[in-house]
Chain A
Amino acid sequence: MSDVSGELTALIRDIAKNVDDSSDWAPELWHTIGELGLATIGIPEDVGGSGGSIKDLMVVIRELARAGIGTPIVEASTAAFVIGPPEPDSFDTVVVGSNVNLGAPTVTARLDAVPFGSEANRLVLVGDRDSAEVALAHEGVTIWVSTDVGGLPTGRVELDGAQLRSLPNAPEATAIVERLTLGRAASLLGSCCGAYELTRRYVAERRQFGGPLIDIPAVASALAQMTVRIRHAESAVDRAIDLCVESDVPALRRLSAVASARVATADCATMVARTTHQLHGAVGVTREYGLHRYTRRIWAWRDADVSEASWLDCLGTMALDVDEDTLWNQVLA
């Protein structure tokens, strides 16, 4: 761990101490995170960001999830990457892969799941090639407020002749998708770590049949299987981060590494959610106990933005489209 990532981790653990468990979404806490500039890490200071690398940003994202804090950090940091830091006391959100004509001056469309659509200021729409922005608190925009399975705000957004501002100077669409996807993978990894650590403590303390649960071989084995899978998911995320930071990485290699990290973390998370609940028994399903702050978010995030299944399909297509040499040297490297 670098010094910076150590400091960031400590900072977030500090923030986590003030978490109020009573609600899933804590706007005040998010406000604090915004004030600390954590959502604009990875954006240069000369354009109003907090500086630092994408690696640092991923530490923040992972640690927030690991602390069980639900925030729009992934959406907000990606939106800031596209349109710059948010206006004071606000944040922006992002949707990728929408079938909206981003070249037109206005837009009429229905977007079924816009994360934090009811809370965000601006919405960044990312298409196959380009991107555009819509001001959400504006004429022609109707938002149907809802929450996702993790308890975080989401919304159906209906755009009826809403103003669309095209973003010719924005980063390439692929780069935006990669950052969003990498952030999602990091948050899934953080949730896995948090759920695992909580469970490990629980089975070491909870006594049944005359000893701690961890003394039961099947329990110890379930823990070991989780740690092996989490280690694997972490390697997938580290690899993708490295390839996003390195220069001159071929596009296929970078995108496939991000996709691999995304599916590896989602797959691991599914297993971790199931196993941590199993090991906790009934207490794990209560509102009062904190496990659901990990597992419900795992269930929401594994299919957020672009579903796990779509990424699997996309990765499979990438692999089948190239010869063995390219597969080995890029997709598998």
Chain B
Amino acid sequence: MSTVETAPDSRSIDALRNEVRELTNSWLSQGRYTPRSDCWLRSFDLEFSRELAERGLVGLTWPREFGGGGLDARSRLAVVEELLRAGAPVAAHWIGDRQIGPTILRHGSRDLQHEFLPRIIRAEVVFCLGMSEPEAGSDLAAVHTVAAKVDGGWVVNGRKTWTSHAHRATHAYLLARTDSGGRKHHGLSEFVVDMSSPGIEVSPILDMSGEHHFNEVAFTDVFVPEHRLIGEVGNGWKQVIEQLSFERGGPERVLSTYPLLIAALTHLRETDDHRFDMEVGELVARLATLRRQCWNIAEALDEGRAPVIDAASLKYLGTAFEVDVIEFARRVGLPADRDSALAQALLASPGFSIRGGSSDILLSIIAKSEAR
């Protein structure tokens, strides 16, 4: 590329943090969003995502060639941390930015990269995840949805579930079986599916808080053109494991309830209540250390390593921390009525240690690596 090196390179981590901070502060002061726990799943505002995109804060680590920032994983960590700290409405671009963009970048064809990366970077497309199925949760290799080869592409039949924001998404990432003959880990492939394709039906699944982000998505004879295959046919298992391994190691596995932690600390400060000082000390030590672990993982990615076990460990401990914050807020005495920040976090909390691979499964992955 013969482009002149411009500003992004000189954006230091502190500058990136300030930039995000300015944006969230300005939105906050204009009353354009309310900080909340679990914002990266539940706070959806395409306008906010587009404003981030305009500032070059989506696709931060992707090559400039596609309009990305060309920065490292540590820079992205700083941006993401600041967004979560502010409890900002980031759900619209989260999956594309965190997970699907990187997958397309690692495995997608040049055409697919040129088709989608710039659009994710501009927050024009919204991705949802077609992974889990009624019979395939943490055990993704049990996927039944079939993509059958036809002229010029594939025809998909099956059902996906727990698909957050499918009702708002323009595109779905899809894990489907392209070969049913062999062992269950073989014969899986990944696709990008246009959500406006004929044959897709999205039905809401309300979660126990009454909120609608989950859906079931039914695919009936949905045609997916050839070039929407990600990577190699039959290589889906390896590709999706990679995707999940990296996705686990981010700060959203630690900071989902940070706004609630701050509310609890503010309450203690305002009421001059020192009964919980030791508990505060414990939580603060854990959070500071978890942030360090996030940093270590980003550093490892920047050095070209694959910190799979570190990411699993982080998610295991980080999600436990997120839940402990809620119990702390409860003991401290924050209001707990149905619409309170505490109740909101509490009702979201069972999902923390399930999504992205449940804690029990993560522990068994770690146990296996220890037994080796």
Q: Give A residues with C-beta under 8 Å from B.
A: 200, 204, 214, 217, 220-221, 223-225, 227-229, 231-233, 235-236, 238-239, 256-257, 259-261, 263-264, 267, 309, 311-320, 324, 327-328, 331-333
Contacts and interface: CB of A to CB of B under 8 A. Distances in A.
A264 B265 CA distance: 20
B363 A221 contact: yes
A208 B237 CA distance: 36
Interface stretch (B57-65, B114-122, B238-246, B279-287): B279-287
A260 B370 contact: no
Given A223-B370, A235-B292, A315 B284 contact: yes
Contact of B285 (A214, A231, A238, A315): A315
Counting contact residues on chain B (CB < 8 A from A), the size range is 35 or more
Chain B contact surface mostly: helix
A309 B278 contact: yes
Contacts of A317: 274, 277, 281
B85 interface: yes
B130 to A, nearest CB: 30
A256 B282 CA distance: 12
Given A232-B290, A236-B285, A313-B281, 20 more contacts: A225-B363, A228-B317, A228-B363, A228-B366, A236-B289, A238-B292, A259-B281, A260-B284, A264-B286, A312-B278, A312-B279, A312-B282, A313-B278, A316-B282, A319-B281, A320-B269, A327-B265, A328-B85, A332-B291, A333-B291
Count chain A CB atoms within 10 A of each CB in B290, B292, B296, B313 and give the residue with the most.
Answer: B292
A236 B292 contact: yes
Contacts of A311: 281
Interface of B: 85, 262, 265-266, 268-269, 274, 276-282, 284-293, 296, 310, 313, 316-317, 363-364, 366-368, 370-371
B281 A312 contact: yes
Contacts of B285: 236, 259-260, 263-264, 312, 315
B367 A316 contact: no
Contacts of B367: 217, 220-221, 223-224
A233 B285 CA distance: 10
A315 B289 contact: no
Contact of B277 (A200, A227, A320): A320
B316 A320 contact: no
Given A309-B278, A320-B277, A332 B265 contact: no
Contact of B265 (A214, A315, A319): A319
Contacts of B368: 220
A317 B281 CA distance: 7
Nearest to B278: A312
A167 B125 CA distance: 67
Contacts of A239: 288-289, 292
B366 A331 contact: no
B259 to A, nearest CB: 10
